[in-house]
Chain A
Amino acid sequence: MSVMTPIFEGLWDHYILWSVIVGAIAFGWLYHHSFWFTSKDGEKVPNVDGLEVGVFPKHNDDMRLEVAWTILPFLLIVWLTYYSWEPLDAMWTSADGGVHGYECDYDDPKYTGSNNSMNSLGIIKSDCYHVIEITGQQWFWSFDCLELNESLCDTGTETMEVYGSVPVLSLKKGETYLAVMDSIDVTHAPWFQHLGTKEDTVPGMETTLWLPISDDMTEESMVLCAEYCGDAHSIMAAKLVAHN
């Protein structure tokens, strides 16, 4: 899986399609008019609107056209909003019975893990989720697996070629995690690049972020800080490992 997640790719393709349509109309129109309705400098041309210095010119308008390009873009954005709604709902789903259900009850005899699965839109649904903790601090990330056992969640450190020693968060494929986040000093934001998601960690405030690890998640990917936090902001990195 590349940086683009299926959920992102689906929306992206749809938006690109509409961008091309809108662009083709606007630029086709611009191109045509730029070469069709021209005249040479100094050439005598009919003064259609009676332009005269010091005189407010005749109105040049057409109510039907103006209403048309008020309503058509409006309809387009209504459609785009509708199209974006389900992915949006999945990104910010509730922790109480949303697409990822409730926190896993490990004592339940029927418990078999999150068993997450991806639908055709790229939206991941799960039976239940696990809770982990992420803390931001100038300039490193701390991951805490809380009570989860090592097969579900593991942390460690690793020396990376360019970033030096970075914390590693190892999560299991097919499981869904809810990161509860906080910051010690200033605002940070972990960008889980291959999950296409990020959220600020704000001091004195608890924020949350969904980390659904699908079965085809890349083995190793980067976590970068996306909210400017001072001198070592750009090397405040971590590694996400997806294990089986």
Chain B
Amino acid sequence: MLKARSKVAIMTLVAIAAMLALPSAQSRPEGVSGVQESGCMCHGNLPSDSVVASIDGLPQSYNYSEEYEITVSFQGGPTQEGNVNQGGFHLWASEGTLSVNDATAQVFNQNEVGHTDAGNDQVSWTVTWTAPATDKNVDFVLHVNSVNGNEDGAAGGSTGDMWSKATVSLGGPIEVLEAADPFVVLGVLIIVSASLLAITLAYVFYRRDPDAFDWDNFAPWLADWMTSTDHKKIGTLYFVAGLFFLGVGGIMAMIIRIQLAVPGNDFLTQEQYNQFFTLHGTTMIFLAAMPMINGFANWMIPLQLGAADLALPRINAMSFWLQPFAALLIFTGVFSGHGADTGWTGYAPYVVSEGAHHGTTMWAAGQIMLVASSTLTGINFLTTMAVMRAPGMGWMQMPLFSWSILVANVMLFLSIPAFGVGLIQVYLDRVVGTAFYDIAAGGDPLLWSHLFWYFGHPEVYVVVVPSFGIISEVIATSSRRSVFGYRSMVYAMAGIGIVAFIVYGHHMFTSGMSPTLRFVTMLTTMLVAVPTGIKVFNWLMTMHGGSLVYRTHTLWALGFLVTFTLGGISGMFFPSIAMDTHLHESYFVVAHFHYVLVGGTVFGFFSGIYYWWPKATGKMLSEKLGVLHFLTAFVSYNALFWPMHRLGVWGMTRRHHTYFVTTEEALGSLPMEAAGWNMFITVSGFLFFFSNFIMVFNMIASSIRGEDAPDDPWGGWSFEWMTSSPPPAHTLYKLDDGSWGIPTLRDANEHIANEPGWLSTWFGKLLVSDDDTEEAAH
């Protein structure tokens, strides 16, 4: 009997063979070689060496718009004087215009000419080519048939004929570099980034122990990372994945910005642009923000609760390893040139229509895997929080970051099944031919919008609430105060969690949804301002009477307060319907959600990275580089997104691959100055993109020659600061008596700690304590 290992080996070989065989299957009618071949009614199956085709009369490089007389001819083959027919040709030019001089040739279109019946008795023809008015690289492809002239009939008109091909290339007065395909650019950048990542990993491994830098040591080291169930290692993996995809999403954003830098640009076609904005959104939300949240949570939840690990370590490893494969699926379409082009919202019925790219199917499949991953990891965090809090830590003594993860995961649990169901419906519609969204069969396009936004709106809170948690920790610690209004902070987060589910309809104000529902969601949308307002004012009040220390994480937290407040204020414009009908789907919306998702979520993450890096790695980051990162990124970030508000009001529409400005001659959708602002945004975008590499450099520099970090460098109170930096492999804490173990939380407010609130009394009833189980067993 075959051993399991052999079976796996054989299966792998079969899979590789199948994958190698697949590309040779011709699926598309136009084939690989494209338009050049389409005009050739070539006689005979194979080109013949004895026929020599030639194109004469072309210069080395052309002059703009000049006309050139070209002679196409051939020699050899079965042709000879006196045949009924002697030959034929087909000429294709990639640029410029081809025209004919006489009746022996005919024009198919401006790029293609061929012979006529009258020209069938020749071996040489002349045609005219008008050069383009700009610099281009021009390719000519000539096909000729050498004809023996036998009549149609049993022997066949073309039997014994031969054909051949010739190609000529020339350039304009100024030689131009061939424009790169944006997907090639993206692919190359992803490969370069992945290689840099691999080199960095190899270097980290080398630094670990320079003497043991060989394969025998590397394989177990790598295997350990790939099979580890340690919450810290999985947390690090989540971080590496999240930062990598933050970079990939950033590259896509930069390509989008190049396209939008000037009006009427043709750097990207609409088809390519559609794929870029779809994948930018999906990557940033699902492959960058969510893994980074899980990275923070994996690292910090057990440490903050005083636990040794998460409750379900193997489930944890599984949730992580679903992610890279989901990412591959989501990007599969891109590698075949047909990435998903539906927008991250994937509105029905477009998402199931013939027009949507094939990659959309894989994109849906990848997201189904991510739904599974998020669900599993959510179970894990909630279980850990329910049963593994250190002795003495009630629900209302959990650090606020843990609370934020609790709220985020409860929201995720209530919302993500709707998304999963929607995705499965889309997947089935596209693959099996079900009719959930087929209008002709009675499908309902609004069903998708409801399912998607029932998930989508809570989802944006899921990614921003953990940042609230981080900011609460950072501001309190930096101010050397206890966070102001701990309880109202918790209730505000829970309030956001509840409101999230009844506001989602504001994404559908112009969708034809029932007017009653629109009114209700408009009112509830206004309500979001209340809990977020409480949080912002509580943070500000935390600083009151404190003694703020300016560290990099403090700066990011203060920056977060500025940008998140601005994003919150611009959000208040949408529930006012008479404004929303104008602003909906405009750049005002783009500005708003980048203010809350970058200025809120990402700034929070940056703050968290600078705050917990010493704890996780045992090395300090450079403060100078940190401040430089903050200053450059904060300024360029605002320059990038602030002008988008104005563009939106002017009428710039999102998801349009280009835009036009109104000039004296032509009516466009935007005023003249919009062009200048777009260029400004693009330049700022690049500055923002590159400024973040200061942080990456800082991390690498810190790993190599950073100072050793103390256990509690910032003066925080929660349990993560009670263990060593970095924490020992099996997480334990330094107890008062000098030993290592699981700590007990003391509460400076003893009178409150001893009185369980109604919530914890109620929740306590739901949980069976260990003692009870033991008694039951006896």
Contact = CB atoms under 8 A, between A and B. Distances in A.
Interface of A: 3-5, 7-8, 11-12, 15, 19, 22-23, 26-27, 29-30, 33-34, 37-41, 43, 45, 47-62, 65-66, 69-70, 73-74, 76-77, 80-81, 83-84, 87-88, 90-92, 138, 160-163, 185-187, 189, 191, 193, 196-200, 202-205, 207, 220-222, 224-235, 237, 239
Given A54-B722, A73-B534, 20 more contacts: A30-B561, A34-B548, A47-B480, A54-B746, A56-B748, A56-B753, A59-B752, A62-B541, A77-B530, A84-B577, A88-B578, A90-B578, A160-B667, A162-B668, A187-B445, A189-B510, A193-B669, A198-B582, A226-B653, A228-B655
Contacts of A27: 562, 565
Contacts of B667: 160-161, 220-222, 239
A38 B550 contact: yes
A61 to B, nearest CB: 4
A165 to B, nearest CB: 14
Interface of B: 264, 270-271, 274, 341-343, 345, 347-350, 353, 355-356, 393, 397, 439, 443-446, 479-488, 510-512, 515, 518, 522-523, 526-527, 529-530, 533-534, 536-538, 540-551, 558, 561-562, 565-566, 569-570, 572-573, 575-579, 581-582, 584-586, 649-651, 653, 655-660, 665-669, 712, 715-719, 721-722, 743, 745-749, 752-753
Given A23-B565, A80-B572, A193-B669, A3 B650 contact: yes
Contact of B510 (A38, A43, A52, A198): A198
Contacts of A84: 575-579
A59 B482 CA distance: 7
9 contacts: A53-B722, A56-B746, A73-B530, A162-B666, A200-B511, A204-B445, A224-B653, A231-B274, A235-B270
Contact of A202 (B446, B540, B550): B446
- Of the candidates B479, B522, B722, the one having the most CB atoms from chain A within 10 angstroms of its own CB is B479
B578 A4 contact: no
Contact of A30 (B342, B540, B570, B669): B540
A55 B719 CA distance: 9
B721 A186 contact: no
Nearest to A20: B569
B569 A91 contact: no
A15 B579 contact: yes
Contact of B579 (A12, A53, A198, A203): A12
A91 B576 CA distance: 11
A136 to B, nearest CB: 12
B566 A23 contact: yes
Contacts of A229: 350
Given A53-B712, A91-B577, A234 B548 contact: no
Contacts of A5: 582
Contacts of B745: 54-56
Contacts of A91: 577-578, 581
A224 B669 contact: yes
Contacts of A70: 488, 530, 533-534
A15 B748 contact: no
Contact of A162 (B264, B515, B566): B264
A54 B271 CA distance: 56
A111 B549 CA distance: 74
B445 A33 contact: no
Contact of A59 (B518, B526, B749): B749
B545 A37 contact: yes
Given A84-B578, A203-B445, A222 B748 contact: no
B510 A200 contact: yes
A26 B214 CA distance: 57
Nearest to A72: B533
B585 A37 contact: no
B442 to A, nearest CB: 8
Nearest to A71: B530
A216 to B, nearest CB: 17
A162 B659 CA distance: 10
A37 B484 CA distance: 15
B512 A203 contact: no
Closest 4 CB pairs of A and B: A234-B656, A39-B547, A87-B578, A161-B666
Nearest to A81: B526
Contacts of B480: 39, 45, 47-48, 51
Contacts of B572: 15, 19, 77, 80
B579 A8 contact: yes
A8 B582 contact: yes
A187 B716 CA distance: 52
- Of the candidates B444, B485, B562, B575, the one having the most CB atoms from chain A within 10 angstroms of its own CB is B485
B649 A3 contact: yes
A189 B585 contact: yes
Contacts of A40: 549
Contacts of A163: 660
Contacts of A87: 576-578
Given A26-B565, A234-B656, A228 B717 contact: no
A81 to B, nearest CB: 6
B668 A65 contact: no
Contact of A61 (B347, B488, B722): B488
A173 B712 CA distance: 72
A228 B716 contact: no
B303 to A, nearest CB: 12
A88 B562 contact: no
B748 A57 contact: yes
B664 to A, nearest CB: 11
Contacts of B540: 26, 29-30, 33
B656 A56 contact: no
B668 A222 contact: yes
B510 A77 contact: no
A27 B569 CA distance: 12
B529 A77 contact: yes
- Of the candidates B515, B582, B719, the one having the most CB atoms from chain A within 10 angstroms of its own CB is B582
Contacts of B746: 54-56
A209 to B, nearest CB: 9
B733 to A, nearest CB: 8
Nearest to A47: B480
B545 to A, nearest CB: 6
B547 A80 contact: no
B614 to A, nearest CB: 14
Contacts of B577: 84, 87-88, 91-92
A23 B259 CA distance: 34
